[in-house]
A = this chain, B = another copy of it.
Amino acid sequence: MKFGGTSVADLDRIANAAARVKEEVDAGNDVIVTVSAMAGVTNQLVGYVDQTSPLYDAREYDAIVASGEQVTAGLMALRLQAMGLSARSWLGWQIPIRTNEIHGKARMEEIQTAEIEKRFAEGQVAVVAGFQGISPSNRITTLGRGGTDTTAVALAAAFKADRCDIYTDVDGVYTTDPRIVSKARKIDMISFEEMLELASQGAKVLQTRSVELAMNHGVRVQVRSSFDPSPGTMVVDEDEIVEQQVVSGIAYSRDEAKITLVRVKDQPGIAAAIFGPLSDSAINVDMIVQSVSADGQRTDMTFTVTKSDLGRALEVLETNRGEIGYEDLLSDDNVVKVSVIGVGMRSHAGVAQTMFRTLSEKGINIQVISTSEIKISTLISEDYTELALRALHTAYGLDAEDA
């Protein structure tokens, strides 16, 4: 059972979360609880670090920031004890959760289960401070933002748990953002692959990395609300889902910016000349389209980066203008990437066509297209975000009947 920052934001919410834990214990389950820092605490600690030293030592950053989860874990254990349960807190170094040395975004390498399993036999609940581990040098490491999701899934895998319940402030995964599309439906079951695409294409309910980990270890994840007892969304292996939808969900990301290099030379090595320097500057490029060359000599190259990388990307391209040899450099950050996701695409034709036709019917121009086996993404003007989402949601038959 994982409780995020808003689910443990204050002592009342910790008590509420503890009550959910007690229900599972009363149902006869062995339970590991993992908790984030109380909402706001991590940001405060990160603020201290940034103000103290802009070029900080990530090892100290980790020791400081990991303290937030340490506090919540202790408080959760105390609360469970106050409710009559046996419980104790575990810090990353106590279990231990061994990670590599990459401070600030460490990867877990080994979780010892013996000690906690011994306590299960005595009916004790393990409360694990999320987001942290211990490096080979005996220093505290953290797993990066959202790391407590990853901790929860990794624990579930290590202990071969029946389920990993991620408690959050929404009651599940939706077919699209319900704040934009009122007819969005909660999904009962979704496959790992689809969840992974939804997460990487902008749905914020689960961290990409934790979904990846769950998929690799076959951990059944449930996304559910800390405040609403109804079942949430089960993220499971594709084979478990009897009635597969063609399209499961529609994600969007406003964190996109488009760059176009006008009339670059259409010759071997040009892609390397463009994307090499960007990669060297740690700028990730997402969608790429090279328009058909009319004369066989010059072509336009369009691609996307995150909004926050746009400025740096333009600088890098200006600097390398000589080698690349473009005529003009255009950019646009008023764009959104809309992605339609579903494993059913593998066996159903016409899914892409439905997307293109639907957008066209609403007069929405598609600027860039990219596809994968179970996903079609289009880049459109940000102004049409809501219109596109609603139209696509209806077109793919996802609208709730009673909404």
Q: Contact residues of A with B, CB < 8 Å?
A: 11, 14-15, 45, 48-49, 51-53, 55-57, 59-61, 63-64, 67-68, 70-71, 73-75, 77-79, 81-82, 88-89, 91, 93-94, 138-140
Complex Cα–Cα for A71 and B44 (A): 11
Inter-chain contacts of A64 with B (CB < 8 A)? 70-71, 74-75, 78
User: Is A70 a contact of B67 with CB atoms below 8 Å?
Assistant: yes
Residues of B within 8 A of A60 (CB): 74-75, 77-78, 81, 88-89
Contact of A63 among B61, B73, B82 (CB under 8 A): B73
> A interface, by DSSP: helix, strand, loop or mixed?
helix
Report yes or no: A71 in contact with B67, Cβ–Cβ below 8 A.
yes
A11-B48, A60-B89, A77-B60 given; A53·B82 CB < 8 A: yes
9 contacts between A and B (CB under 8 A): A11-B52, A14-B52, A48-B75, A52-B75, A52-B82, A53-B78, A60-B74, A63-B73, A64-B74
Query: Nearest chain B CB to A45's CB is how many angstroms away?
Result: 7
Q: Are A81 and B53 in contact (CB under 8 A)?
A: yes
CA gap between A360 and B67 in the complex, in Å: 57
Contact B75 A49, beta carbon cutoff 8 Å: yes
CB neighbours (8 Å) of A52 from chain B are: 11, 14-15, 75, 78-79, 82
Whether the Cβ atoms of B57 and A77 lie closer than 8 Å is yes
A61 to B77, alpha carbons, bound, how many Å? 10
Report the minimal beta-carbon distance from A138 to chain B, rounded to whole angstroms: 6
Interface pair B75/A89, CB less than 8 Å apart: no
Known: A53-B82, A60-B88. 15 other contacts (CB 8 A): A11-B51, A45-B71, A49-B78, A53-B81, A57-B78, A57-B88, A60-B74, A60-B75, A63-B74, A64-B78, A67-B68, A70-B70, A91-B140, A93-B93, A94-B138
